Structure 1
């Protein structure tokens, strides 16, 4: 077997090229709508077959798309073998990634600066690399409630909250649509169309596992419908998905903090070690080994004395935290849904939708690095602890003074220690467990009537959604109890047990942990309720068809809150601090859309159509705005279509961005004052109180930021041109080319902490220096910054898509789809020293937060079906990128997936079986030095290892 796989690897480059040239139907995406396409808002029957397609409120032929739309249906999803609709969508070349099951961050790096939380266990979609907050997610044309992961108030939809069994297809509009749908649709729209009709029962079961024997998954889907032919149409269903964990220690790429490293000498390891790091009495020390059952020995006259238990701290003593992390998180989802439609007559219908979903997920980090002392940088009681000489484990013979009381008031003593770090191995890894419940329901009354000699369609909608999350964190420490346990022995009474921070591995007993440790319990929730009304129909005839109008109004109310554990909120946690956040806002909107087919069926104008839309939005928090949209749809001949569009967009600030309370995230920064600064930099450092000989303790600096109720909406302008060639002589074939250009102004973010640091130390800017807090020894305690409308984004590129589906023949039917995104430019403008600077992102890896910007991404699939048998071969290509911080090159990657299917004709194709392998040639992701965890970018690349899966399906009509 090994030799066979070696031969496979040797020929993988040839197969990769062949797959890209002759690849792929539905499994990736298609610019042709599936045959089962149905309306996504008004459900009243339309004898012309025209429906509402994502990107417009006006009914039209789904083949006459006036905007670039990608369709992903149930068959496409099944061909991937993936267990999440998010993972399927993140394969689209136009997708920039987003949160998924490969993200293990639960706040151990800190909370993002926007109050949105880390989104642990959530799954999001990001189009055009503009961020998930700038991609609008709809369900049947209506808004869905934003996610909650008990770490903040996110501004994006968690797609894990939507049961896959209810999905009929997904329509992805790859362009701005704020004039049609309102806020958030700057990058595009993802519209999830649910099953409204189904005959009989459809059930499937899939199991999968990586070749290493981990990451085991189970996926069970079931749905039933009464046929949908009578006046009452019902579809109900449910799903259960379970995903096993993968330890970072079980993949070579993530064994150490630096890719390919075999020890901590390569860098990246932590100063919080099990043996401890002690910067005391002017010395930087660590233990030579564990000291259990006695007090360690320290010789103040000779710190290098071999008889001493202490020695000088070096890089080799740092702690490798990497193997404790997860490269895939454990996750369990189960939910149910019901879709109901009742026809009261040919012109009046009622429909309702209800779903409930639960997500249980978990993340893991290395045992808590407990940092105490004036230079610890926690920003709370831990920085003010003095360790009493009467503590029975204190080997230094004197009280280690912080210089202040626990309340932060100077106590007249001189600090004689600055930092103690001790990794609490005895308390086990930090474990973050989330339980997220989502409830969502809609009700629609729709109908039609005749006016102006045309049919007019109307609908009135109501919706309510709630996302409620709880997170339980194991491994935190109560700072007040720790202060008592390290303080005078006479004050350690009652349940208090003196704490041994000095003795190394195994010296902290269970009794000590029982007093200082606590289980952290955080909560968050978001809710959305709203109402909308829409009306669309024809006014009068133009040479190319009816002048069509759509008008509507909408009201929405958003509420969100985050309640951290009471101990954490009181500032007594030893991990990431947090404070309660809560807020709400409402929005009132009205829109109008017009479609004018000027010509049809004349020379050089088989169709010429103009369209436009305008939307007025009034937010209770950020004021009002008006956006416009215009487009041209021209078919000079029957087989060729050209289109162009211009759109204004906006994104209103979210609850977390507006009302987020101060939080902390840990950013790797280099202090210019550290080491041997020279010239004006040296002078500025001394003027700012940095003493001679100062050396930065840790590369991670606490950055404090929070919400800003003065934020205004982001605004955008986008335009695109493209063409579609659909030859009449070759049915079900199309070649589509689309150019896009997007500019965002007033993008919401905080001034980068490194910019603030440079402006202060190098530019001696008093405003910047006021945002930096240093300790008496010169260490940076924190850097502050509020969210502001300060950034600008510019991006443009080209999408090239080809689709072909043959008719059945003696050799079966074939499908070929090839989808590509070519990123020409992605620029970010931000404040910098002396003004502003523009960062070039195309062809680079951003790193922490992880995001690659490859200049070319492509996916292709070759699909074949014959008499119940089927096969698919998928190729996924990602062009190389270079890390912005260090010039490290992340090479090209080409992943190959294969699937075999069988639906026995003897059973009327009521039973189906599929076997597949993803990452057939076992391609590892490229090693990334600047990425946050596991040394690769999880937004872009696959988990190392082949993934095998087997699925069985039954259909009962």
Structure 2
């Protein structure tokens, strides 16, 4: 067997990019004692493979001194995981179906999305969260107990030839502690230095001892963190632009423009903030999402488990088990109030204006129309339309439990090592809406005085003109009235959502010397794998849409995803390590996967490493990878959500639906799963070198490239574009059951083009129909009127191609009785190409919104016999603000502020933060203090984000600290 060479150890150390690096030399010494090891990226034991691939290693001491309390905290500064919109945390959580599930987080390599990153624990799979982010299943890294982790290995290159599906961008492998001796308790407390309280504490225990001829390692961990609101910081408390408002206030509703005599939205008295002048010259009471924006959810997690390892004769038996539970509460902005059929402008009875003084009431009546409207019970009343949202944010509680059990046997037969294991991994989630969700029928019954005291809707007898119960009329213009609030409470609903994701697996592997080539040993590994996956996501009936109820969910503004799917898979792989010469090594791998739903795929890998001298290794690799359609994507029965279409990506769509502007619009849609989806495919290439002229110096440079095809998504822009020529996608009113496409205002079929075609007819000229509609309806906006619940099918829609360069430098010095370390690592994105939605045009994303070109860290640390300290500088380069998707009124305000350049664009500024750590080791204890964002830098302004900053690449928390105390028994 080959031992680890000093160069290989140096190269592996050089690829570590976590901000704080400690005890790497001790880790290397321990690894040198091991004759047979297996590293992420290979199944072959006992050969020197680290030099053939860029492997990032985060050790136990690195974890301890990072200041991290969760896996996300640990990974968020790793360069390979920064940039783009793939990696997300609880800052992206919300209460709606298209939000990140509350309290959950995901890791995404190279910005390709969390579904393209394979998560392993001890080299084996983990069940995905049962609640998808959109339709992408992902592993919730918040469910992995940090206390159990010995180290983390990150391989940022395609690895399906070794590990199978999902390793498109690479693999993150969490290695558990085992053979631990003694006991250790760690306690930490952290908070921001702001006046608000974002406190967090962590307590964990690790204990190991000899038991029954083996070793038992037990761990337990508890973490608790308070939430963090936008209103808690000056930089996010107020909107950057006055024009970034919504017409739907949550107090003092506006009167809908259609009920106003002059056709303009009308503010009613009682607005708690100054009225806003709209682009149409109206004075309205407005809403800004900052006031309810939750930048980080309150989060609590508890976990416990064990790792047991023993010898049974010549066989080694290993079992690991952990159980975890997380709890979180998340909210989204209050839901808009619509009519029963979900169109704008609900009706209020004219008597609701009686709360105002007579002169004010009469002034309002002089400016509005009083029209008849039909109530839920079937009566005909008189009133007017208003614009508003509920006062209470939509709020959900979520409990997630996860468990994992792996039990396996391993041993040796001659010069061959073998192992086999059974795996059970499960994630189960329960969600309940606890506030801000209201039944549409009960609410409208309350508006008409038809909601009974028991919460039921009154029956109406037309013959006698009587109701079965007499209820008070709910007044949306009245605030702070207990009786009125109690009436609204009768309409509150608490929809639930239950999900379960399970992975059953069995694998068997063998590794050993296959023979000789040119006097050198050929290493090899072979294996087979069986896997069964199941997922269910079941919302309560009051949050489900179906054709029978006209796709109207019982509650306002709260979608759901009904899905259920399962699949079976088997695979076989082979891997070879062939020393072609004394200095040139070849790694070959191939894996065949067969799925019982979408079919089979074969993925190869070829890697070369050349050591012309002991101090230098040159390496290159090529591999293909794939991502099977997620179970949610294959098994969605019906998902109620919102989808955006981008008029900036398609001028034909812009002319018909956006008055020619390049804005982005959002609509209610229904998404359908697609059992005919094909697997996403990827080809990756990397080449570079590692140079270690001394034991204390390492430089690594690597070029990498991914070509990722057949991405799975819905694409409303593309459907709108296709509907221009495809009549089967155009529907007046709701899309029929079993159909697909776009739903238009039913009244649109009252007009035709010059040839007499309606919008549903083949050959219809949509531009002529738009002109006819403008003449017929005199609409507020000159665009084709969309209705609701467009039906979109998940499809293999496009591609993305990304390339870049990683650079890492590591230098150690022996100074003043200790070791000083200078470390630098950076990622430079050369290109990130992706086809625009609804277009075959490939756009370049590097330097655009959320895609910084350069990401870097520079660290300096010193450690002696007892004292240790470090300073790390993290840098994210500037990139373009999301100007293209802004409204015209916002662009006008930006222009007036003078923040746009000559081309009408602006950049989000580069961001640099400093992290400091200081600590002391006693004989049986240690204490350390870490401070993140030492100089309390606000995130750069981003006018294109409703939050005013980019919450993926930046952080509004400000200066925050963590004090850690550890005691070893």
Bin of the TM-score, shorter chain as denominator length: 0.7 to 0.9
Deviation readout 1:541-585 (Å, 9 max, x if unpaired): 223631122111111111111111221126201122225211111
CA contact (8 A) 1:148 1:436 kept: no
1:510 alignment partner, SS class: helix
- Alignment of 1:126 with 2:108, yes or no, is yes
CA contact (8 A) 1:342 1:349 kept: yes
- Alignment of 1:28 with 2:19, yes or no, is yes
Deviation readout 1:240-275 (Å, 9 max, x if unpaired): 11111111111123223x4x34xxx33233424422
Which residue is 2:949 aligned to?
936
Deviation readout 1:402-423 (Å, 9 max, x if unpaired): 7xx979xxx9999997x64323
Which residue is 1:365 aligned to?
332
| Superposition deviation, residue 433 in structure 1 | 1.2
CA contact (8 A) 1:196 1:340 kept: yes
| Superposition deviation, residue 150 in structure 1 | 8.3
CA contact (8 A) 1:376 1:420 kept: no
| Superposition deviation, residue 154 in structure 1 | 5.1
| Superposition deviation, residue 595 in structure 1 | 1.1
Which residue is 1:289 aligned to?
269
| Superposition deviation, residue 669 in structure 1 | 5.7
1:486 alignment partner, one of 447, 454, 457 = 447
Matches within 5 A, 1:156-175: 156-175=138-157
Q: Structure 1 137/291 Cα, relative in aligned 2: closer, same or farther at 3 Å? A: closer
**TM-score by structure 2 length?**
0.80
CA contact (8 A) 2:710 2:799 kept: yes
CA contact (8 A) 1:276 1:287 kept: yes
CA contact (8 A) 1:208 1:216 kept: yes
Deviation readout 1:314-359 (Å, 9 max, x if unpaired): 36421123121212211011110100001123x3100001101110
CA contact (8 A) 1:549 1:592 kept: yes
- Alignment of 1:715 with 2:678, yes or no, is no
Deviation readout 1:368-387 (Å, 9 max, x if unpaired): 3322266637xxxxx9x876
Which residue is 2:80 aligned to?
94
| Superposition deviation, residue 471 in structure 1 | 1.2
| Superposition deviation, residue 867 in structure 1 | 2.7
Which residue is 1:446 aligned to?
410
Which residue is 1:948 aligned to?
961
Q: Which moved more, 1:701-710 or 1:914-923?
A: 701-710
- Alignment of 1:803 with 2:810, yes or no, is yes
2:594 alignment partner, one of 618, 623, 637 = 618
Q: Which gives a bigger RCO, structure 1 or 2 (Cα 8 Å, sep 6+)?
A: 1
Which residue is 1:55 aligned to?
41
Q: Structure 1 205/47 Cα, relative in aligned 2: closer, same or farther at 3 Å? A: closer
* Alpha-carbon distance in structure 2 between the residues aligned to 1:680 and 1:865: 61
| Superposition deviation, residue 758 in structure 1 | 5.5
Deviation readout 1:607-650 (Å, 9 max, x if unpaired): 21111111111111111111111111111111110111110110
1:80 alignment partner, one of 60, 66, 70 = 66
2:956 alignment partner, SS class: coil
| Superposition deviation, residue 732 in structure 1 | 4.0
CA contact (8 A) 1:796 1:826 kept: yes
* Alpha-carbon distance in structure 2 between the residues aligned to 1:374 and 1:157: 37
* Alpha-carbon distance in structure 2 between the residues aligned to 1:105 and 1:438: 19
1:401 alignment partner, one of 373, 394, 409 = 373
1:867 alignment partner, SS class: coil
1:902 alignment partner, one of 913, 920, 930 = 920
Unaligned runs of 5+ in 1: 1-22, 41-45, 293-311, 378-382, 601-606, 846-851
Which residue is 1:240 aligned to?
222
Aligned residues: 842
2:251 alignment partner, one of 254, 259, 274 = 274
Which residue is 2:831 aligned to?
825
1:249 alignment partner, SS class: helix
Q: Which moved more, 1:786-795 or 1:886-895?
A: 886-895
2:420 alignment partner, one of 436, 460, 470 = 460
* Alpha-carbon distance in structure 1 between the residues aligned to 2:151 and 2:500: 28
CA contact (8 A) 1:102 1:938 kept: no
* Alpha-carbon distance in structure 2 between the residues aligned to 1:819 and 1:697: 38
Deviation readout 1:38-86 (Å, 9 max, x if unpaired): 999xxxxx98613110000011356743111000112212222121122
Which residue is 2:275 aligned to?
none
| Superposition deviation, residue 24 in structure 1 | 12
Q: Structure 1 250/659 Cα, relative in aligned 2: closer, same or farther at 3 Å? A: same
- Alignment of 1:558 with 2:571, yes or no, is no
Q: Structure 1 488/811 Cα, relative in aligned 2: closer, same or farther at 3 Å? A: closer
| Superposition deviation, residue 362 in structure 1 | 1.3
* Alpha-carbon distance in structure 1 between the residues aligned to 2:825 and 2:662: 48
Which residue is 2:700 aligned to?
736
1:854 alignment partner, one of 839, 852, 855 = 852
CA contact (8 A) 1:31 1:70 kept: no
Q: Which moved more, 1:174-183 or 1:92-101?
A: 92-101
- Alignment of 1:144 with 2:162, yes or no, is no
Matches within 5 A, 1:533-612: 533-543=508-518, 545-569=520-544, 571-600=553-582, 607-612=583-588
Q: Structure 1 831/250 Cα, relative in aligned 2: closer, same or farther at 3 Å? A: closer
**TM-score by structure 1 length?**
0.81
Q: Structure 1 619/313 Cα, relative in aligned 2: closer, same or farther at 3 Å? A: farther
2:19 alignment partner, SS class: coil
Q: Which moved more, 1:501-510 or 1:862-871?
A: 501-510
Which residue is 1:306 aligned to?
none
Q: Structure 1 341/82 Cα, relative in aligned 2: closer, same or farther at 3 Å? A: same
* Alpha-carbon distance in structure 2 between the residues aligned to 1:697 and 1:174: 35
* Alpha-carbon distance in structure 2 between the residues aligned to 1:598 and 1:424: 71
| Superposition deviation, residue 525 in structure 1 | 1.3
1:180 alignment partner, SS class: helix
| Superposition deviation, residue 495 in structure 1 | 7.5
Which residue is 2:479 aligned to?
505
CA contact (8 A) 1:151 1:562 kept: no
Which residue is 1:773 aligned to?
743
CA contact (8 A) 2:646 2:663 kept: no
Which residue is 2:887 aligned to?
none
2:306 alignment partner, SS class: strand
- Alignment of 1:187 with 2:169, yes or no, is yes
| Superposition deviation, residue 500 in structure 1 | 2.5
* Alpha-carbon distance in structure 1 between the residues aligned to 2:352 and 2:69: 54
CA contact (8 A) 2:446 2:472 kept: yes
CA contact (8 A) 1:725 1:735 kept: yes
CA contact (8 A) 1:152 1:524 kept: no
CA contact (8 A) 2:80 2:827 kept: yes
- Alignment of 1:912 with 2:943, yes or no, is no
* Alpha-carbon distance in structure 1 between the residues aligned to 2:479 and 2:647: 32
Which residue is 1:603 aligned to?
none
1:518 alignment partner, SS class: coil
CA contact (8 A) 1:820 1:856 kept: yes
CA contact (8 A) 1:25 1:862 kept: no
Q: Structure 1 145/866 Cα, relative in aligned 2: closer, same or farther at 3 Å? A: same
Q: Structure 1 915/291 Cα, relative in aligned 2: closer, same or farther at 3 Å? A: closer
Deviation readout 1:852-899 (Å, 9 max, x if unpaired): 211110112111012311111011011111025443311111110111
Q: Structure 1 222/630 Cα, relative in aligned 2: closer, same or farther at 3 Å? A: same
* Alpha-carbon distance in structure 2 between the residues aligned to 1:879 and 1:792: 25
Deviation readout 1:397-443 (Å, 9 max, x if unpaired): 966437xx979xxx9999997x6432322xx3322111111111100
* Alpha-carbon distance in structure 1 between the residues aligned to 2:245 and 2:405: 48
CA contact (8 A) 1:875 1:894 kept: yes
CA contact (8 A) 1:101 1:329 kept: no
2:638 alignment partner, one of 647, 662, 665 = 662
Which residue is 1:305 aligned to?
none
CA contact (8 A) 1:253 1:934 kept: no
Deviation readout 1:752-788 (Å, 9 max, x if unpaired): x34444565xx56646645322323664223442111
- Alignment of 1:222 with 2:205, yes or no, is yes
Q: Structure 1 107/613 Cα, relative in aligned 2: closer, same or farther at 3 Å? A: same
Which residue is 1:890 aligned to?
908
Which residue is 1:6 aligned to?
none
| Superposition deviation, residue 667 in structure 1 | 5.0
